Amino acid sequence: MELVSQVATQRALPRPSDALANDAGIFDVWVDPTKDASQVCVDYMSGVEVHYDQVMASMLNPTRARQRYEQMASEDAASTGGQAQVVRLGSTPAYLIPDGAALLGNGESQGGPGWVTFVAGMHQVSVAGHLSTEQLQQIASSTLDG
């Protein structure tokens, strides 16, 4: 937990404050070993993962971010059975793939976790886990609130 505090402070990472994902429940932290160390992944004991990456400058504009997420949902419609969607976390647009929605070519679920991605501060943040869409959005919203 001390490591994530150091990493979070150095990189100003917005962290979730939810029962399923908060600083007390951190299991492991991974920091990109390259020179810029721009990617971070925090694993929680609940099975939730929160990924942080650099955000493209164009995505800092909420209107542009929503347009990009809508494009992604359209592109991913066939491979998710139409379940990919743009949602709102308060006033922040986000892109959501529900748990198990990613499909194989035969139409069966790949069994992958659900995830929601959004911009928080200067980071592209993705919350992933085998959770309901409501739980994923709740954790993501707590990241924005924190």
pTM metric for this prediction = 0.89
Model confidence at 4, pLDDT cuts 50, 70, 90, reads: low
- Give residue-wise pLDDT tens across range 91-143: 999 999 999 898 888 888 888 999 999 999 889 999 999 999 999 999 999 99
β-pairing, 114-120 with 123-129?
antiparallel
How far is 86 from 36, CA to CA, in rounded Å?
31
What order of strands is seen across the sheet that includes strand 40-44? Answer: 26-31, 40-44, 49-54, 123-129, 114-120, 92-97, 85-89
What's the CATH number for 2-145? 3.40.1000
